[in-house]
Structure 1
């Protein structure tokens, strides 16, 4: 298969990164952006812009490895780094995606309950069954189609609102100066915003969705177009629109970022929707939740099937059974006790903790000539290192604040997980430096 050039030819074939974009533009990202704008005004605008840029870069690096190897990431790791490292990656992904699955299902169920008056636990079972039947029956292409439609609709709603609200240009310009508000809330929200685009789940799933689409190195043109149109343009506009609306409409000095709820956040749409703002916002939140569930459900089955040597498609009954199990297990999210709006931000921050390890894995493999026959040019590697640095600093700031004020089991688990995955990341970096140095000295 080869690229069918031209804008319209590309537009008709794009898809894999739109599935990642649907996961990225989910309710957790929406909650993080609204909390950032409402709690801190334009202060974190630089994080919103950086998230779109680095999100696109991360997708490109993962996609490059995917189309050059034409294998799933876990298989490549097991072959070239060893089984132990493969299991570390699988554990990282399953923990991040599994926690996200529960909280996002909690969101979908509770929003459905608010809209209909039917108990959230009933809705959780309904949506879990819909996921199981839809994904096990139609597979990847069903999730991809739903992602394109729902993400596009959600983006349009917030863009329309951003057009009519007053935005302060001078205050917005001040938000381009990098700074993280002091305290746990500031670090948490910044990590949540960045984690919406730079997330271990998004990086890992890209290699599998590229493979599911059957794209190889001949399709590198459509891969770049797919990434630019989805993560950079659609997700970038989505993030900016939500953040600017929240900063313009909801922000007031003294507002507690942790106290913002879904009903309070709905008032961001009041300038365009008036008394219907709450309903419109809740419908958008539900659409974002369902599109994210469609993409996120298949991630644990992808990596587990790859590690166990199964075919990662619905033709393999074992993979199909994994999809059904993950979909049905997500109904347990309705029984989480915390407010889903606050938990959404925590989910992204937690996922960001495991992201540096995935970035190191991808960069390591991309620069190993035994893995790929086209190692990245220097600018791509430098950009990848910048991506790693930003992820480490942002996640590290969040973990440091969590460690200084451990108040619940989640905080303790986040700190322990950060210690374990941080050690694994450091060890892999040391191995990468040793291998690279040995190769350089041998050639000399």
Structure 2
């Protein structure tokens, strides 16, 4: 464990040096900048115009804060989060965290594969099921064969390309600067709570929080890299993810008026109102976002499972390599799932969001315990508690929305998952109070 104390985010190197070395938070940004987030942004812009721009900006800030807390835990312990939980909270809590992550990321894996296969089929005319097999093989060979650094490089290139595509689309749609500026003033129109929750839920998500300690370990970062890691979070989440979100939202708010459009439908709807260039830029951006999200999401279940089982979390361990290949190949059937993509992406956000408060509670607990060599600051704790309150509210909104039409199978799955995670979060709070861990 690192013996470094009073680390600060401003020490350790120049901006140019940091730019050449950053990486782990870009993998998290690649997952955040995915089809589910895009669906929420398109729906928000198409149904409310520029009104919810302030929520879009807030989501980037909240996402960066959650990544910062996860980064801090990873650097100060220099271990994967599941192993830290097992040592300091117990094996049962470690399994709860693993189950939470695997369920949320597993469902997301299938639906994101469906989105990617659909986009690929729309662009090429080749059947979606063929693309499902192709992309699953690409994932298996790329990740299991090349390992984490391959994913990180791909994430940087894809996220940068996606941001460029959506920023470029702003130049071919008529954005109203005055109305956009007015959208920075907080207001919440009627019937917009759920879509606002979706926007925030895409940035503050259990998979992003849990995976960060593992990606930093893959890079060999320690407490000595605190400044670099903080810079990495800022450029990826506040910078790239923030620009991505704002650009998509402004495009949707400027030229779309049908909140029922799917992400692919939104791209197709752009052609008659903004020209073919806007359509193809949007489609290419959607495809890149789906690829980067699918790749990042694939590594999450193997990370937590391998850590819990005491295996290595790199391709040097053949067991971990086999887990990576299995998760990649098992995503192929997602391409042939029936139903509307948009509603399924909402379910992905719902499951992820109801699982997120527990992950945040775990991180805050550990950052205020003897698991780390220095206490969390009051400001960091206040930010973490604000995140816990926001994500708890988002989770409740998602559950209510799923149950609004009666307890259908999908709503039932979300409800059961939400109740179990809520009980686990409450139990963790009770354990923290009883343990009397040292205050910040």
Work out whether the TM-score is over 0.5. yes
Determine the structure 1 residue equivalent to 2:81: 73
Determine the structure 2 residue equivalent to 1:321: 322
- How many residue pairs get aligned? The number is 431
Asked if the contact 1:187–1:398 (Cα under 8 Å) also holds between the matched residues in 2, the reply is no
Distance between the aligned counterparts of 2:398 and 2:313, measured in 1? 35
Asked if the contact 2:166–2:285 (Cα under 8 Å) also holds between the matched residues in 1, the reply is no
1:216-295 maps to which residues of 2 (within 5 A)?
216-251=222-257, 255=258, 257-260=259-262, 262-268=264-270, 274-295=275-296
Determine the structure 2 residue equivalent to 1:347: 348
Alignment equivalent of 1:128, drawn from 113, 116, 136 = 136
Q: Secondary structure at the match of 2:401?
A: helix
Q: Flag the 1:82–1:50 CA change in 2: closer, same or farther, 3 A.
A: same
Give CA deviations for 1:235-259 in whole Å, capped at 9, x if unaligned: 11111111112111113xxx4x234
Gaps spanning 5+ residues in structure 2: where? 5-10
What's the CA shift for 1:180? 4.5
Distance between the aligned counterparts of 2:335 and 2:341, measured in 1? 9
Which shifted more, 117-126 or 305-314? 117-126
Gaps spanning 5+ residues in structure 1: where? none
Q: Flag the 1:295–1:5 CA change in 2: closer, same or farther, 3 A.
A: same
What's the CA shift for 1:269? 7.2
Q: Flag the 1:217–1:261 CA change in 2: closer, same or farther, 3 A.
A: closer
What's the CA shift for 1:396? 1.2
Asked if the contact 1:96–1:351 (Cα under 8 Å) also holds between the matched residues in 2, the reply is yes
Determine the structure 1 residue equivalent to 2:51: 43
Q: Flag the 1:271–1:141 CA change in 2: closer, same or farther, 3 A.
A: farther
Give CA deviations for 1:25-44 in whole Å, capped at 9, x if unaligned: 11221121111111221232
What's the CA shift for 1:161? 2.6
Asked if the contact 2:169–2:278 (Cα under 8 Å) also holds between the matched residues in 1, the reply is no
Give CA deviations for 1:311-344 in whole Å, capped at 9, x if unaligned: 0000101000000000000001012111223322
Determine the structure 2 residue equivalent to 1:59: 67
What's the CA shift for 1:179? 4.8
Asked if the contact 2:22–2:228 (Cα under 8 Å) also holds between the matched residues in 1, the reply is yes
Q: 2:358 aligned with 1:357, yes or no? A: yes
Alignment equivalent of 1:200, drawn from 196, 206, 214 = 206
Q: Secondary structure at the match of 1:357?
A: helix
Distance between the aligned counterparts of 1:37 and 1:260, measured in 2? 13
Which shifted more, 242-251 or 76-85? 242-251
Distance between the aligned counterparts of 1:157 and 1:200, measured in 2? 27
Give CA deviations for 1:57-116 in whole Å, capped at 9, x if unaligned: 000000100010011000000110011111110011001100111011111111111122
TM-score when scaled to structure 2?
0.93
Which shifted more, 226-235 or 107-116? 107-116
Asked if the contact 1:165–1:249 (Cα under 8 Å) also holds between the matched residues in 2, the reply is yes
Determine the structure 2 residue equivalent to 1:418: 418
Distance between the aligned counterparts of 1:404 and 1:124, measured in 2? 33
CA-based RMSD of the aligned residues comes to 2.1
Q: Secondary structure at the match of 1:258?
A: coil
What's the CA shift for 1:119? 1.3
Distance between the aligned counterparts of 2:182 and 2:326, measured in 1? 47
Distance between the aligned counterparts of 2:288 and 2:40, measured in 1? 16
Q: Flag the 1:142–1:95 CA change in 2: closer, same or farther, 3 A.
A: same
Distance between the aligned counterparts of 1:340 and 1:74, measured in 2? 32
Q: Flag the 1:137–1:28 CA change in 2: closer, same or farther, 3 A.
A: same
